[in-house]
Amino acid sequence: MTLAGDSVLVTPGSGATIATHIVAAKEHQVIMQADAQGHILGTKDTYCYKIAEQVHVAAASTIHWDMFNADAALIVRVPGVYQLPGIITAVTGVVFTWTFQRTTAVGTGGSAQTAWLADLSQAALDADITCRSKPSGGATPGVQLSAYSIHGEETNAASQMMHMMMIGGVANLVPKQIADKGGIVLRQNQGLSITQTLNSAAGNTGWLIVFTVE
């Protein structure tokens, strides 16, 4: 990531050099845009957790994944959380209810996830930022961000449409107004999780979590 440099005073014929570009024989100043945090757009390292489809669980209030930032200095911003309902495996589906919430403790157990990099030249993800599927402990729920329902039947048109809209980035569990400002902010000892609240093992669900680190 790159922060914008110091501001300078511009005096014709002297002072600091300003980037320009000539169009139609006229010289125009070149500018670079910065986000609300002062970083030049497109310079923050972006990471993704792709959690493979996993079976639903016949136990109420099962955490499907948690993500946690334990680093004292780094700030994580999550602009995208995408739920990918399984549309291949034949099941007799039911309507599942889910909750999306902040967490106040890191999850334990489960399967640790490895983030993939949007740019292979960027720095590897800090070890204090973690994600796991189906943690068996920890991941203490905090403030609930949303609650919603999705049909688990693979032939259900709405489920198929949601899968395609989520994978294409059209639908997002992070509201647009928040995503456009950088996403949900995770400072030290803050996290997120999603919980399946319905007691049923019918169907499968995968996930894609997109985030930046600064």
Give residue 148's pLDDT band: very low, low, confident or very high (50, 70, 90): confident
**Residue 21: in which H helix or E strand, if any?**
strand 20-23
Asked whether the predicted pLDDT for residue 202 surpasses 90, the reply is no
Give the mean pLDDT of 65-76: 97
Query: For the chain, what is the radius of gyration of the CA atoms?
Result: 21
- Return the closest-CA partner of residue 2 out of 29, 49, 38, 26: 38
Going from the C-alpha of 28 to that of each of 11, 119, 165, 196, the distances in angstroms are 15, 31, 41, 55
pLDDT tens for residues 89-145?
666 667 788 999 999 999 999 999 999 998 899 889 999 999 999 999 999 999 999
Asked whether the predicted pLDDT for residue 13 surpasses 70, the reply is no
Residues in a beta bridge with 69: 129, 190
Query: pTM of the entire structure?
Result: 0.79
- Residue 103: phi, psi to the nearest 5? -130, 155
Give residue 88's pLDDT band: very low, low, confident or very high (50, 70, 90): low
Q: Is the dihedral of CA 100, 106, 109, 111 positive or negative?
A: positive
SS3 156: coil
